[in-house]
Amino acid sequence: MYAAGIGVKPWRANRAGGTTSSWRRLLAAVAAVLALSVAFALGARGSGEAHYTTVVVQPGDTLWSIASARYPADDVRVRVDDIEQANGLQGPGIQVGQSLRLPS
């Protein structure tokens, strides 16, 4: 065995097998990863308030044309889906004079 100085205890498990401290460390690591994951998810989600602008559908407008004009730098397919969800639409059909909420 190794010599130990006064007050210095050799590093060993508290119990035979040493599983108790290993499990505690593992549970602490898992808890830390979960806490960080939740924090990052909440931060990425942003505030719970969604900001909308309203547009009235004009003759010849489609969801695709509205999305491509309003969000030129974004993927139009994603934005069309966002507009459908924001307005509770079941498909791309819209009518002239209809008010649409556009997510910011």
> In angstroms, rounded to a whole number, what is the distance separating the alpha carbons of residues 85 and 57?
17
Q: How many domains does the chain have?
A: 2
Predicted confidence (pLDDT) per residue in 30-67, tens digit: 999 998 888 888 777 665 566 889 999 999 999 999 99
Domain around 78: 52-103
Is residue 64 a contact partner of residue 80, using CB atoms and an 8 Å limit?
yes
Structure tokens at 15: 């119990």
For the chain, the first-to-last Cα distance in angstroms comes to 69
Q: Are residue 28 and residue 70 in the same domain, yes or no?
A: no
Same structural domain for residues 22 and 61? no
* Assessment of whether the complete model's pTM goes beyond 0.75: no
pLDDT at 39: 82
* Cβ neighbours around 61 below 10 Å, total: 17
- Indicate if 56 and 69 belong to the same structural domain: yes
Q: Same domain, yes or no, for 63 and 99?
A: yes
Mean pLDDT across 14-24: 65
pLDDT digits (tens, 9 = 90+) for 77-100: 999 999 999 999 998 899 999 999
Phi-psi region of 60 (alpha: psi -120 to 50; beta: other; left: phi over 0): left
